[in-house]
């Protein structure tokens, strides 16, 4: 299988006329150099017939069904614009791929119309250009340049992207209002199944070259594959909507209470399942805490009313985790958009300490932290010292810092209360 003239042209064409920044050229070149190796590799492992599973992707970019974009800056700009214009533009679904450096957005209507050059080439090569209907945006972020050399990961991700894009372009699930339907779940499960078949077809040496997040898909049985598909729909796909627009929780999402989560030994905020990337501090901008703390999260304020994140400090084989959820629908009192903080002390044997913290509104609209599930010994010297560093660091989000500072103060004074169970 080789790329036709129309497919190659569409892959590296910028639909809005923004031509070749240095970063864009680097990323598109990295993809171009790797894709032929991927196709050759897939043919060698699974046979040439399996490369046809990529056809939805390559035909999509050759017929105006898929648009490719290069660079994190472009992705951030488009996501902000999509959120700001979601009352004027169609709803759609943003879904994470199997790589943190490739993002996909599925729209129910065409955003970018085909240009004259594309029409001409399509006519020459016998392609039928898509004039309307679903359109898929695939964004290759800055980090893709380094991971493009791993043809095993790239092959697996292209299987997944191609399946989800093909299902969208062939209207196998609804997109009109951005709903995450049962049909959508079914296609996510089917896409993961394709990836599982690919991983299982690799030999032992080839599988060692896969990233852990992809290698584990090859180990999933039918029940585990179903659970993984549900996890990805719940935590790795979200409708495109204007900033601050409230989205009710899915009725089919089984949500534990904070106390139930602690008793079951599972995180209440599901940060493990969200697979948030580690944040990298921008030069000249102090918006992250210093070591030993590292931060995980994505800025989704431009299209969600909630923001999830994690602060993590490691000592030997033990981890101290401060997971948080902020909510823009909260009235911004002293704690701002604070909603929930979850503090977990995790050892190789499991969770050692676990508490979930909320807030209580007192007289004159004063607020104070309160335990809503579990318990934690905040007097332990090393733990208290690390949490105090996080609370005092100006790079820590102020909602988290203020709450932690009060938690440490109230616990030392014996005033950290527990919510009254009704």
Least confident of 63-67, 219-223, 312-316: 63-67
Instruction: Report the C-alpha gap between 276 and 269 in whole angstroms.
Output: 12
Give 324's strand partners.
Answer: 309, 341
Identify whether residues 67 and 109 lie together within a single domain: yes
Identify whether residues 285 and 154 lie together within a single domain: no
Closest by CA position to 136, among listed 117, 154, 163? 163
Confirm whether 247 is domain-assigned. Answer: no
Tokens describing residue 282:
């921008």
* Domain that includes residue 182, residue range: 5-239
How many residues would you count in the chain?
422
Instruction: Report the C-alpha gap between 338 and 340 in whole angstroms.
Output: 6
**pLDDT tens digits for 39-79?**
787 777 666 666 667 777 878 887 888 988 988 888 888 88
**pLDDT tens digits for 130-162?**
888 899 999 999 889 888 889 999 999 999 999
Q: Angle 259-378-274 (CA atoms, 0-180°, nearest 5)?
A: 50
Identify whether residues 330 and 216 lie together within a single domain: no
Identify whether residues 227 and 293 lie together within a single domain: no
Tokens describing residue 314:
């490691």
Identify whether residues 150 and 20 lie together within a single domain: yes
Domain final position from 178, 208, 239: 239
Per-residue pLDDT, 255: 66
Per-residue pLDDT, 1: 44
Identify whether residues 221 and 332 lie together within a single domain: no
Domain final position from 239, 270, 288: 239
Half-sphere exposure of 197 (CA within 13 A, CB side): 13
3-state secondary structure the chain: CCCCHHHHHHHCCCCCCCCCCHHHHHHHHHHHHHHHHHHHHHHHHHCHHHHHHHHHHHHHHHCCCEEEEECHHHHHHHHHHHHHCCCCCCCCEEEECCCCCEEEEEECCCCCCCCHHHHHHHHHHCCCCCCCCCEEEEEECCCHHHHCCCHHHHHHHHHHHHHHHHHHHCCCCCCCCCCCCHHHHHHHHHHHHHHHHHHHHCCHHHHCCCCHHHHHHHHCCHHHHHHHHHHHHHHCEEECCCCCCCCCCCCCCCCCCHHHHHHCCCCCCCHHHHCCCECCCCCCCCCCCCCCEEEEECCCCCCCCEEEEEEEEEECCEEEEEEEEEECCCCCECCECEEEEEEEEEECCEEEEEEEEEEEECHHHCEEEEEEEEECCCCCHHHHHHHHHHHHCCCCCHHHHHHHHHHHHHHHCCCCCECCCC
Per-residue pLDDT, 295: 95
Q: Residue 129 above 50 pLDDT?
A: yes
Confirm whether 66 is domain-assigned. Answer: yes
Instruction: Report the C-alpha gap between 178 and 330 in whole angstroms.
Output: 24
Identify whether residues 92 and 163 lie together within a single domain: yes
**pLDDT tens digits for 371-419?**
999 999 999 999 999 999 999 999 999 999 999 999 999 999 999 999 8
Confirm whether 253 is domain-assigned. Answer: no
Counting beta carbons within 10 angstroms of the beta carbon of residue 37, is it exposed (0 to 12), middle (13 to 18) or buried (19 or more)? middle
Q: Residue 344 above 90 pLDDT?
A: yes
Confirm whether 244 is domain-assigned. Answer: no
Confirm whether 418 is domain-assigned. Answer: no
Closest by CA position to 245, among listed 84, 393, 38, 41? 84
> How high does pLDDT run on average in the chain?
83
Q: How many domains, the chain?
A: 2
Identify whether residues 283 and 321 lie together within a single domain: yes
Identify whether residues 169 and 23 lie together within a single domain: yes
CB 345 within 8 A of CB 354: yes
Identify whether residues 38 and 167 lie together within a single domain: yes
Confirm whether 327 is domain-assigned. Answer: yes
Identify whether residues 262 and 235 lie together within a single domain: no
Domain final position from 206, 239, 272: 239
Per-residue confidence at 88, pLDDT binned at 50, 70, 90?
low
Per-residue confidence at 116, pLDDT binned at 50, 70, 90?
confident
pTM exceeding the 0.75 threshold for the entire prediction = yes
Confirm whether 341 is domain-assigned. Answer: yes
Identify whether residues 181 and 262 lie together within a single domain: no
Confirm whether 249 is domain-assigned. Answer: no
CB 296 within 8 A of CB 289: no
251 against 178, higher pLDDT: 178
């Amino acid at each position: 299988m080789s790329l036709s003239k129309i497919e190659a042209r569409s892959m590296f064409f910028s639909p809005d006329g923004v031509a070749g920044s240095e970063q864009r050229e680097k990323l598109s070149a990295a993809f171009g150099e790797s894709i032929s190796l991927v196709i050759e590799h897939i043919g060698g492992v699974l046979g040439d017939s399996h490369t046809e599973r990529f056809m939805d992707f390559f035909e999509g970019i050759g017929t105006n069904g898929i648009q490719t974009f290069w660079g994190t800056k472009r992705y951030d700009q488009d996501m902000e614009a999509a959120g700001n214009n979601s009352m004027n533009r169609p709803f759609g679904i943003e879904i994470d791929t199997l790589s943190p450096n490739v993002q996909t957005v599925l729209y129910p209507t065409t955003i970018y119309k085909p240009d004259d050059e594309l029409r001409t080439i399509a006519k020459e090569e016998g392609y039928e250009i898509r004039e309307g209907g679903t359109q898929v945006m695939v964004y290759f972020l800055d980090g893709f340049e380094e991971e493009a050399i791993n043809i095993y990961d790239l092959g697996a991700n292209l299987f997944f992207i191609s399946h989800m894009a093909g299902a969208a372009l062939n209207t196998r699930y609804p997109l009109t209002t951005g709903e995450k339907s049962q049909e959508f779940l079914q296609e996510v499960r089917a896409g993961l199944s394709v990836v599982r078949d690919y991983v299982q077809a690799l030999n032992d040496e080839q599988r060692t070259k896969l990233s852990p997040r992809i290698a584990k898909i090859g180990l999933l049985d039918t029940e585990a594959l179903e659970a993984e598909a549900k996890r990805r729909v719940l935590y790795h796909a979200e409708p495109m909507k204007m900033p601050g627009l409230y989205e009710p929780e899915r009725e089919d999402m089984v949500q534990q209470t904070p106390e139930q989560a602690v008793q079951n030994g599972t995180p209440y905020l599901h940060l493990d399942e969200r697979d948030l990337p580690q944040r990298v501090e921008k030069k000249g901008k102090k918006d992250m805490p210093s070591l030993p703390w590292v931060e995980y999260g994505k800025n989704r304020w431009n299209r969600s009313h909630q923001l999830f994140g994690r602060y993590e400090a490691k000592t030997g084989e033990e981890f101290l985790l401060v997971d948080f959820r902020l909510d823009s629908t909260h009235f911004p009192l002293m704690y701002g958009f604070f909603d929930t903080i979850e503090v977990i002390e995790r050892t190789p044997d499991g969770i050692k300490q676990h508490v979930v913290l909320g807030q209580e509104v007192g007289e004159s609209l004063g607020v104070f932290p309160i335990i809503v599930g579990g318990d934690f010994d905040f007097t332990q010297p090393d733990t208290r010292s690390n949490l105090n560093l996080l609370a005092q660091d100006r790079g820590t989000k102020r909602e988290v810092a203020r709450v932690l500072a009060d938690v440490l103060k109230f616990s030392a004074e014996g005033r950290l209360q527990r919510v009254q169970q009704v």
